[in-house]
Structure 1
Amino acid sequence: MTEAILLERERGLLTLRFNRPDKKNALTRAMYSRLAEALKQADSDPAITAVLITGSAECFTAGNDIADFIQQPPSDLDSPVFHFMLNLLECRKPVIAAVAGAAVGIGTTLLLHCDLVYVSRDARLRMPFVNLGLCPEFASSLILPRLLGQARAAQLLLLGEGFTGEQAAAWGIASEALGSGAAALAKAREMALRFDELPPQAVRISKQLMKAPDRELIRQVIEEEGALFTQRLRSPEALAALTGFIKRQ
C-alpha cells in the first residue's frame, strides 16, 4: 500500500509530503494522525531545524476526504484533525509550505499557521465550508478578517469564493508566488534549508515572540470553531451537501 504521507529528511529539514495523487491528496483521519505525530516528533528533535509541508507539483490537497469524513466524522477536540491543528499551532520550529494546484478547505487554512508559504501563481485556493453546510475552522474566522479586512474575508468564508496563488501573495496569505509548482517547491526548500545555517535557539525564541500575543486566543477560537464544526457535521444541511458532493464525484 502506498504511503499517503511521505516523510523525507534532508540535513535539518523534515518534509511532510501528501501522497494520494489518485484522490488529489485528500486527507483522511490516518493522514492527520501521521501529520500530527510527525510535527510533534520534529518539535522535540534537536536535529530538525525546519519542517516543509507540500503535495505534488500538480496538487497540494483537495482538503478532507469527504467519504472518510462522513464515515468517521470528528466528534470532539480529541480527533486526529484537531491533534494536527494544535501540533501545527504549537510547533516551535519554522514551518514552510509549498503549494501548487488545488488547496481546498484545510489545505488553505493550514497555511495561516505556517511561517513561510510559497505558491505557484496559478494555484487555486478555496474554503468552501459554508457551501458544504459547515463553518470555518483552524481559526480562519479570526485570522482572515484581521489579515484581509471584513469584506474580503466574507467573500472567502461566507461565499466560499476561490482565489489564485498570485492573489494569496498579494493579500499576505503567501510569502511569494512563483511561476510553477516546481518553482514554488524549489524556493520553499531553499528557504527551509537556510534554517540549517541559523542559530536554532535564536530562531525558536524569535518565533515564540512573534506568535505569543495571539497564541491563546487562536487556540480558543480553534476550539470554539471545532465544537461548532462537529455539530454542523451532524446537521441536515451538512449531511445533504456532503452526500451530494460524494455522488458528484
Structure 2
Amino acid sequence: MTEGLRVETDAGVTTITLARPEKKNAITDAMYGGIAAALSAAATDEAVRAVVIAGDGADFCAGNDISMFADGRDAVSSSNVGPFLEALTGFPKPIVAAVTGRAIGVGVTMLLHCDLVYVAHDATLVTPFIDLGLVPEAGSGRLLPERIGHVRAFALFALGERLSGDEAAALGLANRALAADAVLPAAMAAARALAEKPASAIAATKRLMRDADALRAALSADREAFLRQLETPEAAAAFAAFAARKAPR
C-alpha cells in the first residue's frame, strides 16, 4: 500500500482516498504513482464500475508536494505525474470527486477530468501556479476556460482568485454544493447509482463527451510549458521563498 493513499473497493465502486491529512493531502510522487496504479487496475477490472476520489480529514488536496517542483525539471520529467495524468484523463469509467476544505493546484485541475463533483459550501478552490512562477497543468489551460469562460479562468490563474464551493457549483465546476459532512455520502451515492447503469453505455457516453485528441494536445502543451517554467528565475525565487517560510525557526 502506498503511504499517504488508501484504495478500497466495495459494491462496484473503488474509492481512492488521499490520506495525508497532516499535509492537507498534498500529493507526493509516490502517491501519484499509487493513484495511477489504482486507476489502471480499476480500468481493467470488470467488477469496478465507478471511482470516487476523496481526501482524508478536513481538506481534499493541497496540490503537489512542492519539494518535487523545487528539485527541478529532471525530477518532474521522471516523476509519476505523467502516468497519473495519463491514467486520470484516459480513465474509461465514471470518476466522482468529493471535495471538502482546501483544493489547491492539482486539487482543482484534476476535477476537470472528473465526471461528477460534489463540493462543500465552505470549500476553497485556488490555482496558484503563476504565483509560483509556473503555468497551469493537467490540460487546465484549455479545459478551465472552456468550462467557465476566459475572463473568470484568467482571474483564477493570474490573480489567484479563490472560489468557494458555492461559487464552484454556480460556475459549473461542481454538480452540487453541500454541507461538508454530506459531501462524501453524496459522492458515494452517485457512484453506486452509476455502478448500476449499463457499463458499456456509460463508457460510450463518456467517450462521446470528451475530445480525446484535443485533450492529449492540451496535456502535451501544458507539460512542455510547465517544464520550461521550472527553469526560470521566477520559479527558483518562488521555491526559495516557500522553503524559507517552511524552515524551522
TM-score for both structures, normalised by structure 1: 0.94
C-alpha separation in 2, matches of 1:118 and 1:236:
38
Within-5 A mapping of 1:129-208: 129-180=129-180, 182-208=181-207
Report SS of the residue matched to 1:39: helix
Contact kept in structure 2, 1:7 and 1:14, CA below 8 Å:
yes
Say if 1:122 and 1:74 are closer, same or farther in 2 by CA, change over 3 A. Answer: farther
Question: 2:116 matched to 1:119?
Answer: no
- Alpha-carbon shift at residue 246 of structure 1 (Å): 2.4
- Alpha-carbon shift at residue 71 of structure 1 (Å): 3.1
C-alpha separation in 2, matches of 1:217 and 1:54:
27
Report SS of the residue matched to 2:6: strand
Tell me what 1:237 maps to: 234
- Alpha-carbon shift at residue 210 of structure 1 (Å): 1.4
Tell me what 2:215 maps to: 218
Tell me what 1:99 maps to: 99
1:217 corresponds to which letter in structure 2?
A: A
Report SS of the residue matched to 2:58: coil
Q: Show CA shifts across 1:131-166 (max 9, x none).
A: 000011111111121221111111011112111111
Within-5 A mapping of 1:11-22: 11-22=11-22
Report SS of the residue matched to 1:88: helix
Could you list the structure 1 runs, at least 4 aligned residues long, displaced by more than 6 angstroms after superposition: none
Tell me what 2:24 maps to: 24
1:194 corresponds to which letter in structure 2?
A: A
Contact kept in structure 2, 1:76 and 1:227, CA below 8 Å:
no
TM-score for both structures, normalised by structure 2: 0.94
Within-5 A mapping of 1:24-63: 24-63=24-63
- Alpha-carbon shift at residue 75 of structure 1 (Å): 5.2
RMSD: 1.7
Say if 1:76 and 1:29 are closer, same or farther in 2 by CA, change over 3 A. Answer: closer
Q: Show CA shifts across 1:9-43 (max 9, x none).
A: 11100000001111111111111011111111111
1:188 corresponds to which letter in structure 2?
A: A
Mark the runs of 5 or more structure 1 residues left unpaired by the alignment: none
C-alpha separation in 2, matches of 1:50 and 1:2:
21
C-alpha separation in 2, matches of 1:73 and 1:179:
40
Say if 1:103 and 1:158 are closer, same or farther in 2 by CA, change over 3 A. Answer: same
Say if 1:223 and 1:78 are closer, same or farther in 2 by CA, change over 3 A. Answer: farther
Say if 1:76 and 1:103 are closer, same or farther in 2 by CA, change over 3 A. Answer: closer
Q: How many residues align?
A: 246
Mark the runs of 5 or more structure 2 residues left unpaired by the alignment: none
Contact kept in structure 2, 1:130 and 1:158, CA below 8 Å:
yes
C-alpha separation in 2, matches of 1:106 and 1:219:
17
Report SS of the residue matched to 1:231: helix
Tell me what 1:8 maps to: 8
Contact kept in structure 2, 1:97 and 1:116, CA below 8 Å:
yes
Report SS of the residue matched to 2:174: coil
2:17 corresponds to which letter in structure 1?
A: R
Within-5 A mapping of 1:59-98: 59-71=59-71, 73=73, 79-98=79-98
- Alpha-carbon shift at residue 126 of structure 1 (Å): 0.4
Contact kept in structure 2, 1:99 and 1:123, CA below 8 Å:
yes
Q: Show CA shifts across 1:223-244 (max 9, x none).
A: 1110110111121110110121
